[in-house]
Amino acid sequence: MVPHDEINALIAAHPDWRGAVLADARRIILGVDAGIIEEWKWMGAPVWELDGILVVGNIFKKKVKLGFMYGASLDDPAGIFNGELGGNQRRSVEFSEGDVIPEDALAALVRAAIVFNASKRAVRGKK
């Protein structure tokens, strides 16, 4: 199966609030930039990439987690990062049943991740 279909199947396998949250997050993420690519990695995780990993999605029993690979390097003016706050690299946004995704704030984080990845690529290209 191609990544798009794998992600569709994951969402369909969770017909409750978790599938709905992941589907909504996916819509927001893909809406930020037409160059974002969907991947399926690590035996069952949807991943959105542009010049590297932007966001990894995971569905758990009581939460949906959107992990930003380089979240510790991103500005979060809306303060939506609520997971993995102590690490040096990653940050995540975790949703529980009843939570609403703050669309503008999530889109801003994705845009910041795109800029961060592009800057990393530019530095690599200068070596």
Domain of 112, CATH number, reads 3.90.1150.200
Query: Which pLDDT does position 125 carry in this prediction?
Result: 63
Query: Which pLDDT does position 70 carry in this prediction?
Result: 95
Average pLDDT over residues 33-44: 94
| CB-CB neighbours of 84 under 10 Å | 17
CB burial of residue 6 (10 Å; 0-12, 13-18, 19+): middle
- The larger pLDDT score, comparing residue 88 to residue 28, is at 28
Is a pLDDT exceeding 80 seen at residue 124? no
Q: How confident is the model at residue 79 (pLDDT cuts 50, 70, 90)?
A: very high
Is a pLDDT exceeding 70 seen at residue 63? yes
Query: Which pLDDT does position 11 carry in this prediction?
Result: 98
Is a pLDDT exceeding 90 seen at residue 53? yes
Q: State the pTM of this model.
A: 0.92
Range of the domain at 67: 3-126
Q: How many domains does the chain have?
A: 1
Query: Which pLDDT does position 126 carry in this prediction?
Result: 55
